[in-house]
Amino acid sequence: MRNLIRPAALTAIVVVLAACSRAGGGAGSPLAGSTPPSPPPTVNPSPSAADTGRLDHPTGATDVILRMDQGGGFVAPSFLASQAPVFSLFGDGTVIFRDPVADPLPPVGGTIPNRPFKIAKLSEDQIQQTLRLAIGQGGLATANATYADHMVADAGTTTFTIDTGDLRKTVSVYALGIESPGSTDASARAAFLSLAQRLGAFDQGGAIKSDDWAPDRYRATLLDGIAGDQKATDWPWKDLEPRDFTAVTDPNAMPMPTHTLTANQAAALGVASYQGGFQNLTLAAPNTGKVYSLALRPLLPDETR
């Protein structure tokens, strides 16, 4: 189970990332869009990334070859239930991402919608550029598996996953963007922070052609109790009951009852901006009238539930 992050600490991360975005413009130069790809970013890569040969990687549409996930911390379970990995690059060149520091969408009543994800398709040259950026300037080639900071409490964790065939690793960085003075990992953390900023704002304001992503499956999480003081919405499905929501068997997952919804079932909830997920929709169960709070988040191509 992930560490917890206080809202204030989360805000600090957002402020740091946003400041870096204004000041630095992102790690490396932008990738190209649908036109022929631009040259690789000007970086000082590690020796392993300096090789001019192609990086081997899985090529399947559900093979994750680079991912960044941000989560945990001292936040409500409904917030965690509505979150999905910030950036995912799949073997066929599909990229699904959203900027975690973009302005949030306004609440709809008591329901809090998330910004929709964007989707783009990279050429093989662009895949190579992205992987080399992560391995070189992003510091993943020489990174340790974990980076802790015992001077910071209740912060979140940023997790990078990469699979290039020769380099398969997961790097977890606690309290990224909240750096303790005199940290021995300052250089590595600076590289991770730059990489996190670059992946979150991957389209670089339109330099890479992207569209809003319309998921075909969603994970709905059902929590007991009303969310705030909003009026309960009638249960929207005739073929689905609260008992159909069950907890996953993974001992590391939060023991919350979930169910996989189709796009049509998610749309039936009546939340206008549901594609990016949301939290705090109050539902009244059929027959019993028991009140639940529902959180929704899209399932990525490699996820089954």
3-state helix, strand, coil in the chain (%, to 5): 20, 25, 55
Task: Tell me what pLDDT residue 52 has.
Answer: 55
Per-residue pLDDT tens over the stretch 217-269: 999 999 987 655 678 899 999 999 999 999 987 666 678 999 999 999 999 99
Q: What order do you get walking across the sheet with 64-71 strand by strand?
A: 146-147, 168-174, 157-163, 64-71, 87-90, 94-97, 118-121, 211-212
How far, in Å, CA of 209 to CA of 228, rounded? 39
Closest of 260, 267, 273 to residue 212, by C-alpha: 273
Residue 174's Cα: distance from chain center in Å? 15
Q: Locate tokens 């900023």: which residue?
A: 197
- Region of residue 280 (left: phi > 0; alpha: psi -120 to 50; beta: else): left
Task: Tell me what pLDDT residue 37 has.
Answer: 36
From first to last of the 305 residues of the chain, give the pLDDT tens digit. Answer: 333 333 333 333 333 333 333 333 333 333 433 333 333 333 333 334 344 589 999 999 999 999 999 988 777 889 999 999 999 999 999 999 999 989 999 998 889 999 999 999 999 999 999 999 999 999 999 999 999 988 888 899 999 999 998 899 999 999 999 988 888 899 999 999 999 999 999 998 889 999 999 999 999 999 987 655 678 899 999 999 999 999 987 666 678 999 999 999 999 999 989 999 999 999 999 888 899 999 999 999 999 98
How far, in Å, CA of 223 to CA of 242, rounded? 10
Residues 6+ apart with CB under 8 A from 46: 135, 136, 141, 142
Question: Beta-carbon neighbour count of residue 112 at 10 Å?
Answer: 22
Task: Tell me what pLDDT residue 51 has.
Answer: 46
| pTM of the predicted model as reported, rounded to 2 decimal places | 0.81
Q: In the beta sheet, which residues pair with residue 233?
A: 283
170's tokens = 């997961």
Task: Tell me what pLDDT residue 11 has.
Answer: 38
108's tokens = 């709809």
Q: Are 70 and 17 in contact (CB under 8 A)?
A: no
Per-residue pLDDT tens over the stretch 75-85: 788 999 999 99
Task: Tell me what pLDDT residue 228 has.
Answer: 58
Q: Locate tokens 């992102």: which residue?
A: 26
